[in-house]
Amino acid sequence: MTYTFTEGGVCAPKGFRAAGIHAGIRKNPEKKDLSLIVSDKPCAAAAVYTKNKVKGAPLIVTKKHLSDGRARAILCNSGNANTCNADGEYIADAMCESAADALHIPKEDMIIASTGVIGQPLPLGPITASMGELAKLLSYEGSREAAEAIMTTDTSPKEVAVSFELDGKTCHIGGIAKGSGMIHPNMATMLCFVTTDAAISGEMLKKACTYTANESFNMISVDGDTSTNDMFVIMANGEAGNREIVSEGEDYELFLKALLALDIKLAKLLAADGEGATKLLECRVTGAPDKDTARKIAKSVVCSNLLKAAMFGKDANWGRILCAIGYTEGEFDVTKTAVSISSKAGSVEVCKAGAGVEFSEEKALEILKEPEIVIYVDMCQGPGEATAWGCDLTYDYVRINGDYRT
């Protein structure tokens, strides 16, 4: 392994501070709702955004600010998405200006994000009034507070960090993410903020950001809804002191592996924390005609509401897996397909050559009682491989979303 998981989240890399507070955007004073991440020095930066045609104002402002591939800080509020508001861009810009003044940096070096209810005006007053306090609370150990402040229906904060060697220097990548509902990616999904002390050019950072999003966040689904505010951002300040990565090669591959490992772990945390979820589902597809087809099949399986409901009910209804494979776009032969279901409790083959095989329902029940279920699909017709992640569909998903605003 070329990397090691470690502690510290977005503050694991050298030169990054973070903080989170309750500013008053959310009614519950126990819920933090304003998060700030800052680098001690300017950073190369890159991002990918939702492809939803309805985009939150923060994404529009952030895209403008990142046009030069540079940034210094990330400000994010929860409780309100600042989307579909006539004054949305003005509010997002004013938030950037307020934070920049408190940090004594150019406004254009600010990345801005929001998450929460769509279509409700975002009050600026509580945010600007709290900015001085938020800046004072910035700490090299503040990742957890920042992670808590970006949560909406999440049941727990999500933060991951890895360390690895580059050019004889110890480098770190750290990330925090939020997302529990409206999770069905089309670029990345949810909000994810990543920092690194590795030295890497903006061009190569963008390349790595796009690739790892496709292999991680783009391969998860909770409910089939692509959000208006999805954003995956990474900032690199070069504090580790390695030779700057400016092209593909061994150093870039090492960085890419470490970033992908971090992104996959965050993606799995998001899928496992889907609204109302009790199980993390993983679908591993092998033997597909090509990688693109494998990706589509894996996503079809984890996106199937019928299968998700069956997993909640601990029902080894493998026909729903074949059904999801069958309506996947692509050219392949389902009569060659083999399927098995696995967990810590064991494994059972349920389908071979596109047809059912005898298996123990009792054994299958024990397997499906576990909180993490792996569905293996072997298409037996090519080199294509892919993995996707999702969750079960429970009564609580409807309860949570039935009264989301009220």
pLDDT of residue 229: 86
286 in the same domain as 221:
no
Angle between helices 202-215 and 250-272 (to 10 degrees): 40
Pick the closest to residue 29 from 89, 86, 79 (CA basis). 79
- Note down the domain range covering 107: 4-272
Identify the pLDDT of residue 397.
Answer: 82
End position of a domain, from candidates 225, 251, 272? 272
Pair 258, 314 in one domain = no
Q: What angle do CA 177, 178, 180 make, to 5 degrees?
A: 140
The CATH code of the domain that includes 317 is 3.10.20.340
Same domain, 127 and 251: yes
What pLDDT is attached to residue 134? 98
- Domain boundary residue, one of 272, 297, 321: 272
**Which residue, chain included where needed, has tokens 């493998």?**
318
> Do 376 and 396 fall within a single domain?
yes
- Same domain membership, residue 51 and residue 34: yes
What Å distances lie between residue 265 and 107, 163, 174, 260, CA to CA? Answer: 32, 14, 11, 8
Helix (H, G, I), strand (E, B) or coil at 280: strand
- Residue 83 is a catalytic residue: no
Sites in the chain below the pLDDT cut of 70: 1, 181-183, 185-189, 225, 404-406
Query: Nearest CA to 308 among 347, 276, 334?
Result: 276
- Do residue 262 and residue 339 come from a single domain? no
- Are 397 and 287 found together in one domain? yes
**What does DSSP assign to residue 1?**
-
Spot the catalytic one: 83, 115, 152, 189: 189
CB of 354 closer than 8 Å to CB of 335: yes
Cβ 379 vs Cβ 289: under 8 Å: yes
CATH of residue 255: 3.60.70.12
Last residue of a domain, one of 272, 295, 319: 272
- State how far the Cα of 144 lies from the Cα of 360, in Å rounded to an integer: 44
246 with 377, same domain: the answer is no
SS (H, E, C) 156-208: CCEEEEEEEEECCEEEEEEEEEECCCCCCCCCCCCEEEEEECCCECHHHHHHH
Q: Is residue 255 domain-shared with residue 302, that is, in the same domain?
A: no
Q: How many CB atoms lie within 10 A of CB 358?
A: 6
State the sign of the Cα–Cα–Cα–Cα dihedral 352, 356, 360, 363. Answer: positive
Structure tokens at 118: 């769509």
What residues have CB less than 8 Å from 249, skipping those under 6 apart?
Answer: none
How far apart (Å, rounded) are the C-alpha atoms in residues 299 and 330? Answer: 13
Residues 68 and 186 placed together within one structural domain of the fold: yes
Instruction: Give pLDDT, residue 187.
Output: 59
Q: Are residues 182 and 228 in the same domain?
A: yes
**Whether residues 53 and 169 fall in one domain:** yes
CA-atom Rg of the chain in angstroms: 22
Do residues 89 and 60 lie in contact, with contact meaning Cβ atoms separated by under 8 Å? yes
In three-state secondary structure terms, 392 is coil
Total domain count, the chain: 2
